[in-house]
Chains A and B, each alone.
Chain A
């Protein structure tokens, strides 16, 4: 039902992995982040993850923590998120939101979903909301036509993978390594195993995140996953402005095209 299905239908049709790029909204400023996202879309991101800067990002390493702090110090407000999503969508990009759950809860789960859908957002990735606690979100996502991207981890049991993918739509987010966000020299060998275990329970596309920073890594991940998710590396390159994120997006977009993606 979700709009994300068409993204993956296209990338699968082209026999390649999708490229998903992350930045926090409002980093370094609200307008600045819109320009960065447009550059990422233009240079080859099939989908962008618009992050909500949050005071207590326990799943994030130092790079994204610092970016969130920069955005909050620059005065980011939650309503700015919708401005960013709307601008990305208007420019032809496709956006999902990645957010810790308390800001959504505080805004009102239904109201947040309504406003995100109105801004053109396609779904929410929820790093600290598991389906077990997600009844409100599941109802709101159905009501407003948003996709629910829950996470699976190398430590997830078969039973938890099964229940998590059953509650998911759009795609499933597989965390490649046990740890926080941040570019790594090697993407854990656990990633391929986790994707394989997850495929046994779902035909949904599977995206792999945590640690990817280069075209070669993107090619490697795209050989076993449907999408390659890159965050911290984009945040680091954002220091060079739009040319920096464009260059990285172009490199990664080449990467996801140099290896055949398995049909899930």
Chain B
């Protein structure tokens, strides 16, 4: 069976857009200081114009093709799939994009918008450093000043990415407040933004934050799902049973999910970081084990205590180490259109090594959570199952963490 669809425009307004105030059901909106509302209004207005402007969308598409290297491949992983109950497993190869992850999609879109708004300075937060590197890259390409906020803990565990950002001409500011990870990097970026909003665009790296960021970032990543759907049909003549992706803030997941959101037979499964195990309390499973509240500008799920204080997330992967999540995921969870599970550090590291050894592809530890999810989903589906995994990034940046985890340094 084939299921042909006309070419899909990722930017066209549609039924899955939030309301005019940015609400997905009760989630989203703007829980932001008044001082930033003007900038969010300006961004909304500019984005609403740009998404309908054929020149803008053509320029974005051209950059994705000629600069980022899209479309990314869809690769079947048969030797890996032997460990997944014999189900067929396909990898959407966002790791092959320029800069090594899906992050480049959103960054190119927002950098183009920055130019349109006449702003010359860009700030960004980063966890694993992938978004920071992607932002520094786009700023180098377009001649924008770039400042990246990064938690001090993350600058240590992702030192290679810090060097890449500096080489690309960005200023990297280590953040020493709070838990010194992604959450605090966002706090510091917001403090910068409220001070310099006239000249500066905050290039937020995930589908979270105040409206219009969740819908805008999602739309810049929709290309992942649109490509993957067409490629899957072409290679198999059918749609997958399950699409799975890791969820920290949730940008790669929302991008691939949206390619299939109107295919009711396709399950959408997000994999959150289970850290050292949910029972230890050291995890980042916001949707699975958090509760509704507002953080960084939107109502969504978050990890919080009884008093509404944000609690620290934990994951071996810096990119998933975040106590919040994008508001559309909260809505997809509540409406049961998507399911959210978790994979522990150990399960993710097992999948990380397994994919490396069975397919010769070294995935990011973030993406390895989705691979760990796929191993379980395959067992559940059996040999008839067809699974699409978003391989959101490559693992070169994770070599130090992996070498320590597997004891490679001790062997040598």
Contacts and interface: CB of A to CB of B under 8 A. Distances in A.
Interface of A: 54-59, 61, 65, 69, 72, 77-78, 101-107, 127-130, 132-133, 150-157, 160, 164, 175, 178-180
Contact of A151 (B29, B33, B306): B33
B33 A55 contact: no
A78 B308 contact: yes
B379 interface: no
Which of A69, A151, A153, A156 has the most B CB atoms < 10 Å from its CB? A153
A103 B309 CA distance: 7
Given A58-B187, A128-B294, A178-B195, 15 more contacts: A57-B187, A58-B33, A58-B190, A65-B177, A102-B31, A102-B308, A103-B308, A128-B297, A129-B31, A132-B21, A133-B21, A156-B37, A157-B38, A160-B38, A180-B191
B308 A156 contact: no
Interface in B306-327: 306-310
Given A54-B309, A103-B307, A107-B308, A155 B39 contact: yes
Nearest to A150: B34
Contacts, number: 113
A157 B291 CA distance: 34
B197 interface: yes
A178 B33 contact: no
A152 B308 contact: no
B18 to A, nearest CB: 13
Nearest to A155: B38
B308 A180 contact: no
B37 A130 contact: yes
B34 A102 contact: no
Closest 3 CB pairs of A and B: A106-B308, A153-B35, A103-B308
Contacts of A156: 34-35, 37-38
A57 B294 CA distance: 12
A157 B35 CA distance: 10
A56 B38 contact: no
B307 A127 contact: no
A102 B37 contact: no
Nearest to B310: A55
Contacts of B304: 102, 106
A65 B30 CA distance: 22
Given A56-B295, A155-B39, A179-B194, A128 B306 contact: no
B290 to A, nearest CB: 12
Nearest to B195: A179
Contact of A102 (B183, B196, B294): B294
B194 A180 contact: yes
Which of A77, A107, A154, A155 has the most B CB atoms < 10 Å from its CB? A155
A175 B194 CA distance: 11
Contacts of A153: 33-35, 38
A153 B30 CA distance: 16
B195 A128 contact: no
Contacts of A155: 34-39, 197-198
B212 to A, nearest CB: 14
Contacts of B35: 151, 153-156, 175, 178
Contacts of A152: 34
Contacts of B32: 128, 130
A59 B308 contact: no
Contact of B30 (A56, A107, A132): A132
Nearest to B293: A102
Nearest to A53: B309
A133 B38 contact: no
A105 B308 contact: yes
A107 B187 contact: no
B13 interface: no
Contacts of A157: 38, 41
Contacts of B310: 55-56, 102
B178 interface: yes
27 contacts: A55-B310, A56-B296, A58-B33, A59-B191, A61-B191, A65-B177, A102-B294, A102-B295, A102-B302, A103-B309, A106-B306, A127-B33, A130-B34, A132-B21, A133-B29, A150-B34, A151-B35, A153-B38, A155-B35, A155-B37, A155-B197, A156-B35, A157-B38, A160-B34, A175-B34, A178-B197, A178-B198
Interface string B10-39: 000000000001000000011111111111
A69 B179 CA distance: 11
B309 A128 contact: no
Contacts of B31: 101-102, 128-129, 133
